A and B are shown apart, each in its own frame.
Chain A
Amino acid sequence: MSAAEEVVTEAPAVEAVPKRAMTLGVGTSLVVLAALVIAPLFVKNFIIFQMTMLLIYGLAVLALNILTGGSGQFSLGQSAFYAVGAYTSAILMEHVGMNYALTLPIAGIICFGFGFLFGQPALRLSGVYLALATFALATAMPQLLKLGYFEHWTGGVQGLVVTKPDAPFGLPMGQDMWLYYFTLVITIGIYVASVNLLRSRSGRAFMAIRDNEIAASAMGVDVALYKTLAFGVSAGITGVAGGLGAIAVQFVAPDGYTITLAISLFLGMVVGGVGWLPGSIVGSAFIIFVPNIAESISKGLSGAVFGVLLFLVIFLVPHGARQVAIVAQQMLGKLKKH
């Protein structure tokens, strides 16, 4: 029994109505959306920058969620796809002089191809073995980026400095705010597309594979195709997130895309709730802010404090933010009845 199956079969929401349980209700969605649109008008640029990073990591966690929560495949190699996306955007912007917005779809397509191809040999593996294969990819990536052959393009160890775009059409907003709204639009677009994907025929095929591969193939699902497709889609979205990350941070270097990033994204997915797409943003908040909180508690033991906080979360709410949301929903329901 692989760890993947354990996680999936234990999840109550997945057993119930998977299509609905993966998203938020319309009302809640609108409230969250309104908050995301209005908030930047009242905060400092630094907070806007953090919110942009929140959305970007949220996208990357969402991508992993489609792969693991949707099709039941594990990946510890998301940092590699993120790096490829980031470098694609950075190289196209700095060496080719392309507009930043145009580089994102290209980063997405390249990563989709990369993920799809990587999915081919990975098909033979499942559960922890697949996780290990993707782990290898994540470990190799920073070194590949340092290779002398690519140095002219990648800048080697030194990395590449990326120019931050100004707001277009003379819009009266700063670079940070513009980039935030730009990221927000892309995030919403990808989120809606992902929800629709999981509700579609392909999404049902993903979930059928996740729940029982043999049954799925007996029903006529092309297991090999859909598994690699899930890898491709996940990698593609991660690539777009990577590209956005490069633009927001204004810098790419191999040290930014180590295995630590892959583990952080994985952590974000688990904390947000495996298979619950809105949880991605909660997971992203966890990986961005909790290390800062841990550091403010103790500098020397920040890693240990982070570990304790993580342990508490997993111990108290093993299904992450989704569990909290479900409990909140039930309590609201009770209140309404009274």
Chain B
Amino acid sequence: MLVNEKGETEMSATKKLAVLSAALGLLAASSSGVLAQKKYDPGASDTEIKIGNIMPYSGPASAYGVIAKTEEAYFRKVNAEGGINGRKINFISYDDAYSPPKTVEQARKLVESDEVLVVFNPLGTPPNTAIQKYLNSKKVPQLFVATGATKWNDPKNFPWTMGWQPNYQSETQIYAKYILKEKPNAKIGILYQNDDYGKDYLKGFKDGLGAKAASMIVLEESYEVSEPTIDSHIVKLKATGADVFVNITTPKFAAQAIKKNAELGWKPLHFLNSVSASIGSVIKPAGFENAQEIISSQYLKDPVDPEWKNDAGMKAWNEFLDKYYPEANRVDAFVMYGYTVAQTLEHVLKSCGDNLTRENVMKQAASIKDLELGGLLPGIKINTSATDFAPISQLQLVRFKGETWERFGEILSGEAGG
């Protein structure tokens, strides 16, 4: 810089040379310093890291808004404690009302107007699909998307997009593995919702059974979300004489299925997808007595479970909520979700050090090794690699006993790619 400045004509040539050599000398001396030089992409600076987020605060999916509110509170905590490597998090979150055209508008606003470093945890499969191509062409990380679809684990075609939670296919793969081990001669009846979510689950299950799928599955029955009741499907499934029932349904239908099973006196080994494993919205309405012995899976700690009363991770969570988000509904599973996914981002940004380029963020996000967080069940670890963009792929099987889920067996993992 000094040497190139225009107003230096009065400087003699020797002086210039001296300055130049001095500069070169300095450069050589601090070569190690040059390597560790601070590197920034838009959205990062010495004092700040801008994180973008898109969430449905309004509209039909507004219940998910809690996730971003928890994240916002968590980054407030991070900032109060000094930020990440001395940089404060500026968390910018916009509402898309779960409408893909609005998601595109908000994503462009985040990238082109606010100039965020990463777009973090945008929610929903259609909204994320709408912005995936755009963010990948702009080379902006679409990090830890809040959807369980399997297609986010596709580093080859979409190197800037990464999922977070266990995907649907991993989950049913785990059930399939369990069935192969515990009940190799099972006759399996499946009920699934006829859309992308149901089909994703179904595919994982069949992949998990492998070659035995054709002989073990006696009936694949599908229903439409618009149907008022699924009773007739349950009757049909029972008639096949199946002794294993894989229940891939959303909460309302899951409750109906559990109830109808009891009415018919059909008692197969019942697998319920984790989407509907909520005690409050599914099991209780269906009746505790009807839900005994149902198997499902979890990866986050359930805050109402008395087992975690003295758990360190749960204590930290409670302290965080007391201080930064006291109005939170602690029974709401999304609070734990938002807390844990925000911690994962914190980990990634910390490991970026002073190299806060978008490329390095993706690189660090793709090299997480055995990360354990307070909100995750013991034994569940976050792992990623250049070819594995599915951070959480382990699950804990749980069985319903009395009025709560009981964990059993080891942590299982299913590996499903997009």
Which residues of A are in contact with B by a Cβ distance under 8 Å? 44-47, 49-50, 53, 143, 146, 148, 156-159, 161, 245, 249-256, 258, 260-261, 288, 291, 295, 299-300, 302-303
Contact = CB atoms under 8 A, between A and B. Distances in A.
B145 interface: no
B97 interface: yes
B52 to A, nearest CB: 13
Given A249-B101, A250-B104, A46 B196 contact: no
Nearest to B108: A46
Contact of A260 (B65, B93, B99, B105): B99
A157 B196 contact: yes
A47 B109 CA distance: 8
Interface residues of B, number: 35
Contacts of A300: 57, 65, 69
A179 to B, nearest CB: 13
Contacts of A161: 129-130, 132-133
B226 interface: yes
A254 B124 CA distance: 13
A86 to B, nearest CB: 9
8 contacts: A157-B125, A249-B101, A253-B100, A256-B99, A256-B126, A258-B60, A261-B99, A299-B57
Interface of B: 57-60, 65, 69, 93-95, 97-101, 104-105, 108-109, 111-113, 124-127, 129-130, 132-134, 194-197, 226
The B interface, classified by DSSP as helix, strand, loop or mixed, is helix
A161 B157 CA distance: 14
Contacts of B124: 255
Contact of B94 (A44, A45, A295): A295
Contacts of B134: 250
Given A44-B113, A161-B130, A254-B126, 10 more contacts: A46-B112, A156-B196, A159-B130, A251-B100, A251-B129, A251-B130, A253-B100, A260-B99, A295-B57, A299-B57
Nearest to A304: B58
A143 B129 contact: no
Contacts of B104: 249-251
A302 to B, nearest CB: 6
A288 B125 CA distance: 23
Contact of B133 (A44, A146, A250, A303): A250
B195 A156 contact: yes
Contacts of A156: 195-196
Contacts of A254: 126
Contact of A253 (B69, B126, B197): B126
B349 to A, nearest CB: 23
A49 B110 CA distance: 13
